[in-house]
């Protein structure tokens, strides 16, 4: 019975850690999307600036 409680506690802790990690991964993915959007916008702006200086 004692071994069952130990295993149960460890499983509950593992579940909480996995849920916390899932939330952190979602935040990282959102930040990654924001960073790519920023870089794309910056690249388009620079290309537009260069094109206007050439023409």
Residue 15: count other Cβ atoms within 10 Å of its Cβ. Answer: 10
Q: Write down the domain spans for the chain.
A: 1-55
pTM above 0.75, yes or no: no
Looking at residue 1, its pLDDT comes to: 66
HEC profile of the chain = CHHHHHHHHHHHHHHHHHHHHHHHHHHHHHHHHHHHHHHHHHHHHHHHHHHHHHC
CA-only gyration radius of the chain, Å: 24
Looking at residue 25, its pLDDT comes to: 95
1-55 tens-digit pLDDT: 678 889 999 999 999 999 999 999 999 999 999 999 999 999 999 999 999 998 7
Looking at residue 54, its pLDDT comes to: 87
């Amino acid at each position: 019975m004692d071994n069952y409680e130990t295993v149960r506690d460890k499983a509950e802790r593992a579940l909480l850690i996995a849920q916390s990690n899932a939330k952190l991964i979602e935040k990282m993915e959102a930040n990654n999307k924001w960073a790519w959007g920023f870089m794309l916008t910056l690249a388009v702006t620079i290309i537009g600036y260069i094109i206007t200086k050439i023409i």
